A and B are shown apart, each in its own frame.
Chain A
Amino acid sequence: MASLVGSRVERKEDKRFLTGKGRYTADINLANQTYAIFVRSPHARASIKKLNIDKALKSSGVVSILTGKEIADDKIGGLIAGWAIRSEDGTEMKCPGNPPLAKDNVNFVGDPVAVVIAESLAEAKEAAEKVEVDYKVLKAVTSTADAMNGDTIHEGIDKNLCFDWLLGDRQKVKEAFDKADKVISIDIINNRLIPNAMEPRACVADYNAASEEITLYTTSQNPHLSRLIMSAFGNVAPEHKLRVVAPDVGGGFGSKINVYNEDIVCSWAAKKINRAIKWVAERSESFLTDIHGRDHVTHAELAVTKDGKFLGFKNETIANLGAYARVFGTVTPTYLFGPCATGVYEIPAAYTNVKAVYTNTAPVDAYRGAGRPEATYTIERLVEKASMELGIDKTELRIKNFPTAFPFKQTLVHTVDSGDYVAGMEKAKQMADYKGFEARRKESEAKGKLRGIGVTSYFEACGIAPSAAVMSLGCGVGLWESAEVRFNPTGQVTVYTGSHSHGQSHQTTFAQIAADELGVPIENIDIVHGDTDKGTFGMGTYGSRSLAVGGIAIVNACKKIVEKGKRVTAKMLEANPEDVEFKDGEFIVSKSNKKKTIGEVAFACYLPGVRDEMKSPLPEGDEPGLKETSFYDPSNFSFPAGTHIAEVEIDPETGHVKLEKYTACDDFGRIINPMVVEGQVHGGLAQGIGQALYENAEYDETGQLMTGSYMDYTMPRADNFPEFNIGYTCTHATTNPLGVKGCGEAGAIAAPPTVMNAVIDALGGQEVTMPATAEKVWKACKNLKKSNAKAA
């Protein structure tokens, strides 16, 4: 049987999605359901003086209106930060309460203060307009850079500072800088982004008064984790009385990790009114209340020798958490950021200091790449600047500082098991025709255009993560993953995974893995996920962990099946278990022609006895049935890496930046399905290029979101991109049996600095902030013209 791992197996999920048979949360309608509309704060910061629902209650079709008071009276818990981060001085981080419905204060535009539940959506909307809230509007804090100087948002949290965290050794860094020939420094902004999953968030909550069970259908990347949080912290229901189902989910990018206000409120309210409640976000609500991403202000410095050896690195960052600290809000700008900020380089001394601040804006949390795009942007912009200032070719300067041997003990935290950064660089240069760039630059110049080339070499730490490691860093849970492999008596297989697919194609790639491990045709394998009542526990999908953690759990569970199969075969064929080999779905007694197929073995496991032809007594000590479980805890993160190269052409008269060429040469370890990986790379690149050239979440000084719709928030479109030139170097990970590393976030991590390095190269080294919009670039072109004229 040919191996399926490594081949372009067509996606099993496509038929359903392409024929309109997907089943998303908004597709779910329950008998006698009601509709919820949330009344949200129109102010970024205010105290609630009075909330009057009398008029609204009289509105037609209203079933119930609940506010922050009721939810507090019922002792329903608030939303939480999942990681406890300590400041440099040893103090614990400071987190404000975040009730699901605000009672006393609102802290960003969109913060919910009440829920209106009615017989129809139109009636709920109409009634919601009649809820009267008397706000005392307070001065909002919106700027990341100035947040520490603003009014105190949350009582008792001085300077709006959640923590002031340090990773690394300041003294060693100082010594390194003292020895440097040159210090390169940079001030950069990592712009705030809105995730914009195609499917807006939604939930349908149902309560069964007889079983006292709440069922919540919700747009989640991690239903078990959501259940745990809602139960342990939200006090909504004990875990065994709360079922969370995340059916088909149309994109997450991190924005659907969190348990949101609406999940808690609808679950709690469904029990209160003893009816099902449905809520579906409108797009404008998604803009306002989905978690946002990035939003860093950074000053960084690199100490170098004159021949280009890196000696030391400093990174001083202010990270905006938004109004509240959420599940991955505090780890994203710390342990997912700091360790990666030294990039793929040997830098003997380094530190990262992060001040995480609260502002009156939507909460900021993990968004595709989470911390690693910010880290990569910092170091790669700095290295590119160093190459300009030192006059050393940008690719050679990088190669000069690559580690030469693996495992590579990185300066701050990680030990990178495997990689070949030089090979990746060389291949990328060839793919991009790096040598031919100067000729292309001249051609552009002849047309009156400016052309630039930009390079990024990145590594990232994903496949999160060893439980012991993350728990020691403050994580509130372990980040293992589970799988259960279940055979039917007639030989088909159901694989339950704790990972969740919201676009990642698990139904296909996981089936490919199981098919290879078990020798069962892929058509006979079903992948089941997304329902706390079906699978064992699962930690969910984020941090490019599904394959490197969830996939390995499947492999391990399959291996246990094979082990049992060997014992059963040995008993049936009167051989020694040690003499039974398993290959392509057959258990063969070595040096004989005696064998059993895995289907026969499965059947035997369910009919453990002897009758007529059927002779399948089970070996002593083995129970009937064929089902195995694995809880896999990885021994390390995994470390994808690669080099990306971009070329842009700029029209100096309009400032328009055209991305002409984009080359991505990535090392994802072993590739299970090249087509799926291409899809992941394309999507990541689109988001990364979007950050560099188009996307920006902008608040005005009163905290109103200026980019609250697609009329103003630029989602990139297909015609914004060139044909992507994609290649791989595949050095297998040594820390897991598949040798896989993870590919979900790489594009979003590498693309922003790659594109910006190209833009800045075209602009003669002038700094522009992301997104490099026409007007900013036009201004830089004017400056360039002026300074060129002066020089001439």
Chain B
Amino acid sequence: MKDFNYHSAKDSKEASKLASSSSAFLAGGMTTIPSMKLGLATYKDLIDIKNIKKLSGIKVSGKSVTIGAATKHVEVSNSKDVKKAIPSLSSLAEGIGDPQVRNRGTIGGSIANNDPSADYPSACIALNATIHTNERKIEAVKFFKGMFETALKKGELIEAIEFQIPEKSSYQKHPNPASRYAIVGVYVAKHKGDVNVAVTGAKSCVYNDKEMSKALSGNFSSSSIDGMDLDSSEMNTDMHASAEFRASLVVTQAKKAVDAC
């Protein structure tokens, strides 16, 4: 690992002021530190945001759950409020990586990183989340741009993620047996008007499967998507799963999610 400067920011303003083209925010460090150790990334400055009070904590209102960006996975999975308002979000957090990762990794870091097989992005899409940054509010569907790519500008800091509380929801992950990231993860959420079927792991970026959403909005039953033959041409193929297998898993996990709702 190359030498770098460590800064601990006391508020969002200081954090974004310190940011440059060769800096990174340090939240849980679960992605940043290993990539630096392996020489895949080098930064001149690391700006620690864990000490910014405003970025941590969970608030539940009638319609939404708002989670501070620096809130750790373990805090989300243990939160009674989250369990009550959106149980599937709490169980998603419980299924991330391993205890060590959950004790450090943060929700803000996860979505800023936008790993194509990360879990939280699917929650953001399914639960019509709004990403609050120090500059603006961004709708989830406009936030996730592509593989490891988001709408964030240089130095823009996520402060909180606001999830809409659905009528029913469930997240079903088929984990990579080694890393336990999602080979395919499907987050189904039934809102008043319609149903979202957010899929992670299958393609280069999280997406809402329109076909299944439509079918389930008409009839919220797993039978309405059973046997659906998804187009696998844009799906990932790697040593753990072919595109064809992923396409099948998307339907299977979606059915499981509907049944679990």
Contacts and interface: CB of A to CB of B under 8 A. Distances in A.
Interface string B227-246: 00000000000011110010
A490 to B, nearest CB: 48
Contacts of B241: 774-775
Interface stretch (B104-112, B159-167, B174-182): B174-182
Given A698-B239, A774-B241, A710 B252 contact: no
A517 B245 CA distance: 61
**Chain B contact residues: helix, strand, loop or mixed:** loop
Interface string A744-778: 00000000000000000000000000000111001
Contact of A654 (B98, B239, B249): B249
Nearest to A706: B239
A653 B239 CA distance: 19
Contacts of A284: 38
Nearest to A694: B177
B113 interface: no
Given A710-B179, A711-B179, A775 B252 contact: no
Nearest to A720: B177
A773 B242 CA distance: 12
Interface in A637-669: 653-656
B248 A778 contact: yes
B174 A710 contact: no
Contacts of A706: 239
Contacts, number: 45
Interface in A714-746: 714-715, 717
**Chain A contact residues: helix, strand, loop or mixed:** loop
Contacts of A656: 174
A712 interface: yes
Nearest to B252: A653
Contacts of B181: 711
A224 B245 CA distance: 52
B70 to A, nearest CB: 25
A714 B175 CA distance: 12
Contact of B240 (A654, A773, A778): A773
Q: Which residue of A711, A774, A779 has the most chain B CB atoms within 10 A of its CB atom?
A: A774
A496 B98 CA distance: 42
Interface string B76-99: 000000000000000000000010
Contacts of B249: 654
A778 B242 CA distance: 12
A707 interface: yes
A336 to B, nearest CB: 29
A711 B178 contact: yes
B121 to A, nearest CB: 18
Interface string B205-244: 0000000000000000000000000000000000111100
A713 interface: yes
Contact of B239 (A694, A710, A712, A774): A712
A715 B249 CA distance: 23
Nearest to A713: B178
Contacts of B245: 655, 774-775, 778-779
A715 B178 contact: yes
Contacts of A715: 178
Interface in A346-385: none
Given A653-B252, A654-B249, A774 B179 contact: no
Interface string A307-327: 000000000000000000000
A688 B163 CA distance: 44
Contacts of A713: 178
Contact of A712 (B38, B179, B248): B179
Contacts of B252: 653-654
A775 B178 contact: no
A137 to B, nearest CB: 22
Given A653-B252, A775-B245, A778-B248, A714 B177 contact: yes
Given A712-B179, A715-B178, A774-B174, A707 B239 contact: yes
B242 A775 contact: yes
Contacts of A775: 240-242, 245
A699 B245 CA distance: 22
Interface in B163-216: 174, 176-179, 181, 183
Contacts of A694: 177-178
A655 B174 CA distance: 10
A779 B241 CA distance: 11
A715 B1 CA distance: 26
A715 B178 CA distance: 6
The 7 closest A-B pairs by CB, nearest first: A714-B178, A711-B179, A714-B177, A775-B245, A653-B252, A712-B178, A775-B241
14 contacts: A122-B1, A653-B252, A654-B253, A655-B245, A706-B239, A711-B181, A712-B239, A713-B178, A774-B177, A774-B241, A775-B240, A775-B241, A778-B248, A779-B245
Interface of B: 1, 38, 98, 174, 176-179, 181, 183, 239-242, 245, 248-249, 252-253
